[in-house]
Amino acid sequence: MIYAQINADGICEAVSDLKDKVNAAHMIPIADNENPIGKKWENGIWNNVAAPTIYKILTKLQAIERLMTDGGMTPTELVTAREDPNLKFYWMVWEFAGTDDVNRNSPDTAAVLAALQDNGYITQAELDAIMANWPTE
Amino acid sequence: MTTVSELFPQRGPIASIQRGVFSVATATSGTSPDRRYTNITVSAVNDITKCLVNVLGSASTSTASAGNYGSNAGGDQTILAGRMTSTTNLRIYHDNQNLRSSFQGTWELVEYN
């Protein structure tokens, strides 16, 4: 039997040819020739969905570059911020992180940007620009 | 060197084969060895120790430019693995700390008697 497996949002993420009948709300029986992967199961039919915005994971160096472009920070301001006692905790976390990845949607990223704003290194408009112009796939 | 019988202890006749395809935009986050994973529901097997899972697929993510710190080269991908976590759940996963989270591929579950 062929089943489409949907996630919590109703999006089909898998199509499986199983040996027996499966009774589960997230397993939708489909015909052999159907392929609804990526479609949304709504009211008994498959609907196409707009592709979600996927933000690129940046390296730390690229994140610094974001601060200098949309964030408007100069090299001198970056150096000052690097030595600012109010921000040292965030730089420490930055350095101790086990990865070079900077994720737009990470709470750590939000905390760093908020701290830069709170301490006058970027404005709210610049923070908004950093987020709005974050590179996407 | 690992022997064939160590790699494939399930030596009886095949009881069943299940297979499928998957395409997951954002896999679930977890801890090692399942830093990123997705679960596939399958028809119940009798004994997960007599199952062989074959996964042919990869995980990718939005990647940074190659070369920066050398840890996240553009276009790089991670190979996926699979195992049974229960009689009805096949887990597809990777343990790459760069957390590539978009999964695509195929799987096959062979159960032996």
Task: Please name the amino acid found at residue A69.
Answer: T
Question: Quick one: pLDDT at residue B64?
Answer: 40
Question: Quick one: pLDDT at residue A43?
Answer: 94
Q: Which residues contact B46 (CB under 8 A, 6 or more apart)?
A: B15, B87, B111
pLDDT surpasses 60 at B75: no
Q: Tell me which chain B residues have a C-beta less than 8 angstroms from the C-beta of A14.
A: 20-24, 38, 40
Question: Quick one: pLDDT at residue A93?
Answer: 84
Tell me how many residue pairs between chain A and chain B have CB atoms under 8 A apart.
96
Instruction: Provide the chain A residues 21-40 that lie in CB contact (below 8 A) with chain B.
Output: 21-22, 24, 26-27, 37-38
Give B102→chain A minimum CA distance, Å.
10
* B32-47: average pLDDT: 94
Chain B touched by A14 (CB under 8 Å): yes
In a domain? residue A52: no
pLDDT tens for each residue of B3-26: 777 766 667 789 999 999 999 988
- In a shared domain, residues A22 and A84: no
- In a shared domain, residues A78 and A107: yes
Determine which helix (DSSP H) or strand (DSSP E) holds B86, and give its type and residue range.
strand B81-86
- In a shared domain, residues A27 and A75: no
A3 phi and psi angles, rounded to 5 deg: -130, 145
- In a shared domain, residues A104 and A125: yes
In a domain? residue A89: yes
pLDDT tens for each residue of B90-113: 999 998 876 678 899 999 999 998
- In a shared domain, residues A84 and A28: no
Residue, of A22 and B75, whose pLDDT is higher: A22
Supply the mean pLDDT for chain B: 82
Please measure the distance between the N-terminal and C-terminal CA atoms of chain A and give it in whole angstroms: 36
Structural domain containing residue A109 = 58-132
Question: Do B21 and A14 make contact, defined as CB atoms within 8 angstroms?
Answer: yes
Share of chain B above pLDDT 70, in %: 80
Residue, of B88 and A54, whose pLDDT is higher: B88
Question: Quick one: pLDDT at residue B67?
Answer: 32
Residue B65's pLDDT band (boundaries 50, 70, 90)?
very low
Contact residues, chain B to chain A, C-beta under 8 Å:
16-25, 38, 40-44, 61-65, 68-69, 71-72, 88, 97-99
Question: Quick one: pLDDT at residue A110?
Answer: 87
In a domain? residue A100: yes
Which of A14, A57, A136 lies at the smallest CB-CB distance from B64?
A57
pLDDT surpasses 50 at B71: no
Domains of chain B by residue range: 4-112
In a domain? residue A120: yes
Secondary structure letter of residue A55 according to DSSP: B
Bin B70: left if φ > 0, else alpha if -120 < ψ < 50, else beta. Answer: left
CA atoms of B65 and B45, how far apart (whole Å): 44
Question: Quick one: pLDDT at residue B73?
Answer: 40
Per the structure, how many domains does chain A have? 2
Q: Tell me which chain A residues have a C-beta less than 8 angstroms from the C-beta of B18.
A: 16-19
Question: Quick one: pLDDT at residue B9?
Answer: 67
Question: Quick one: pLDDT at residue A100?
Answer: 79
B55 phi and psi angles, rounded to 5 deg: -125, 130
Q: Tell me which chain B residues have a C-beta less than 8 angstroms from the C-beta of A62.
A: 64-65, 68
Residue B81 CA neighbour count, 13 Å, CB half: 10
- ipTM reported for the complex, 2 dp: 0.84
- In a shared domain, residues A112 and A66: yes
Bin A26: left if φ > 0, else alpha if -120 < ψ < 50, else beta. Answer: alpha
* B54-74: average pLDDT: 56
* B50-74: average pLDDT: 62
- In a shared domain, residues A73 and A104: yes
Q: Tell me which chain A residues have a C-beta less than 8 angstroms from the C-beta of B21.
A: 14-16, 37
- In a shared domain, residues A77 and A126: yes
In a domain? residue A110: yes
Mean pLDDT per 10-residue run, chain A (137 residues)?
A: 96 96 96 94 94 84 94 95 93 80 85 92 94 90
CA atoms of A61 and A64, how far apart (whole Å): 5
